[in-house]
Structure 1
Amino acid sequence: MTTITAATPGLSALAPRYKGILSDVWGVVHNGIEPHWSAVEALVEYRARGGSVVLITNAPRPGGPIIDQLDAMGVPREAYDALVSSGDATRSLLENWRGRTVARVGPASDDPLFEGLEIAFGPDDVATAVVVTDLDTDDDTPADYRDRMAIWLERRLPLICANPDKVVEEGDRIVYCGGALADAYEDIGGRVMMAGKPYGPIYEQAKALLDSAAGHRFAPDEILAIGDSVRTDAMGAAQFGIDLLFITGSIHAAELDAFNDPPAKRVSDFVSVSRANMVGFMPRLAW
């Protein structure tokens, strides 16, 4: 990991070193309710100076509805060239269950994930797999699914998790995501399948979009990942071989005391478990 002695003053300090950015969305560009405007402005400025930006999100829906959500929030299209989601990557996994019955966990708002796949929903005792987009409500915890997990395990059902995030920032609170339930199932011996961050399929799709936007192929050292999660963004950057700008002021804000100028060593030690090459950190993305 690069030796860092202080927080990065802004993306402008790193931008000349990179021709492309893969940026997380939830926790970096917005908090689930409203945009982080300094982040939006930073991405707009980066693109205005010739850089390419692909948003890479663990949202469990296909990219189209997520772009619609960003539009509704007022995030301008000038902030990014393209977007890829865990939902996009997960649809490739779900092709193996086309025409079959699965059990489901997650809200109805995630229905677009299944469009056109001819997948039927059924109870746990007849399903051939479990698909988790998120927990059923934002107030749920993985413990609420203990009885269902026992059935899944008894029947040896694979759990396909469309959102590997464990938690996410929503306004001023932290809520559980599908990845937390996937972890709980794996902890009791269940089989889990994922395609979003930090796994390779979503990064391969994101890089293809980045190459397309720029009109040429990027080398790994020309790409900067920006994200707020050690588990997904930092580990994903490490496994894909690209540098990381870590955003401390989201899901890890309390652990790092992010808005009170935490020592650089504390942040570096915190991220080091991922083995990512962290080249900078800041509480909120800004230019």
Structure 2
Amino acid sequence: MTRIIQSLSDISEQYDALFCDLWGCVHNGQQAYPAAIAALQAFRSKGGSVILMTNAPRPGPAVSATFDRLGIPRDAWDAIVTSGDAAQAGMIMGAVGRKVWHLGPPKDEPFFTEIPDDLRALGSVERVPLEEAEGIVCTGLFDEMSETPEEYRGTLLRAKYAGMKLLCANPDIVVDLGEDRIFCAGALAELYTEMGGQSLYFGKPHPPIYDLARRRLTAMDKVIDDRRILAVGDGIFTDVQGGVSEGIDTLFITGGLAANELGEDPEHPQEALLLPWLQERQLSPSAVIGRLR
């Protein structure tokens, strides 16, 4: 039975680590949520570990470089694991070939340039035009503020007929940038699959990013049983579904992507709307809260 809570502290003593989503939980793409920051700081002050787990297609260092601008202090987290980190490994291992076409905005350049030395030692990948490519590395739309996935149907059709696989570096379908909802790489991968192409995923809800997060805990000398880990996020089919699949308890943040569907007050979801909404999606998070606090 899903429990509606008012504060992370209501359940935090049951856990030693958080796998906490970023966008929609800790920030909105423009600024951090002060209450969420305070909740993470309080969890760490009592000995808990916070792994920020995001479907951002950029590697961890590139993501953390934005934290000062957003207002996310260093004492609110221990490590960062991104979909980009996990997808980089897949790319270097040749998941979609050695010659790839990059589908994504210029801001995702670090995906190709900031590669850890241990991965570089495993091989190299060359970026080429689509007509020369063996596969696609998709980090998003070229212009996420104005384009839609449907505008890429013709390009994706060419790739499908050429037998290319698409590596999706961000399984999210949409995110909210302030008041604007924008499409992510997951929307393009979803369309490609619907068209008959093959898409490969490495971020939430898929196993590679969770395996990487556990390795980060081990590197911190933290041996934590899955029963003592809580996955936190606002994506029902990414954060919650991923946690459930991994056997990890989940805390669903309803005031993020689902805010407009669960009542007029994002801080306090209406139980009468919430329970049927969860039943329709056949997912039961361990707990639910309006905003992380």
TM category, shorter = over 0.9
In the TM superposition, residue 151 of structure 1 has moved relative to its aligned partner by 0.1
Does structure 2 conserve the Cα–Cα contact (< 8 Å) formed by 1:258 and 1:283? no
Partner residue, 2:243: 237
Aligned residue type for 2:52: L
SS for the counterpart of 1:202 is: helix
1:198 matched to 2:198: no
Compared with structure 1, are the counterparts of its residues 66 and 156 closer, same or farther at alpha carbon in structure 2 (3 Å cutoff)? same
CA offsets 1:50-74 (integer angstroms, 9 cap, x no match): 1111000000011001111113322
| 130-139 or 113-122: bigger deviation | 113-122
5+ long unaligned stretches in structure 2? none
Match of 1:50 among 33, 37, 47: 47
Map 1:25-44; keep pairs closer than 5 Å: 25-44=22-41
- Give the distance between the partners of 2:236 and 2:106, measured in 1 at CA: 29
Match of 2:270 among 242, 263, 269: 263
Match of 2:103 among 102, 105, 114: 105
1:11 matched to 2:17: no
Partner residue, 2:136: 130
SS for the counterpart of 2:224 is: coil
In the TM superposition, residue 121 of structure 1 has moved relative to its aligned partner by 2.4
5+ long unaligned stretches in structure 1? none
Partner residue, 1:281: 288
In the TM superposition, residue 277 of structure 1 has moved relative to its aligned partner by 4.7
More relative contact order in 1 or in 2 (CA 8 Å, sep 6+)?
1
Aligned residue type for 1:104: H
Does structure 1 conserve the Cα–Cα contact (< 8 Å) formed by 2:230 and 2:250? yes
1:151 matched to 2:149: no
Aligned residue type for 2:234: D
| 4+ residue runs over 6 A deviation | none
In the TM superposition, residue 106 of structure 1 has moved relative to its aligned partner by 0.6
In the TM superposition, residue 258 of structure 1 has moved relative to its aligned partner by 5.9
Match of 2:196 among 189, 207, 216: 189
- Give the distance between the partners of 2:276 and 2:247, measured in 1 at CA: 19
Number of positions where the alignment pairs a residue of Structure 1 with one of Structure 2? 282
Does structure 1 conserve the Cα–Cα contact (< 8 Å) formed by 2:254 and 2:269? no
Give the TM-score, by structure 2 length.
Answer: 0.90
In the TM superposition, residue 49 of structure 1 has moved relative to its aligned partner by 1.3
Match of 1:88 among 85, 90, 93: 85
CA offsets 1:88-140 (integer angstroms, 9 cap, x no match): 00011111349932112111111111125643322222210011101111221
Q: Identity across aligned pairs (percent)?
A: 37
Aligned residues: CA RMSD: 1.9
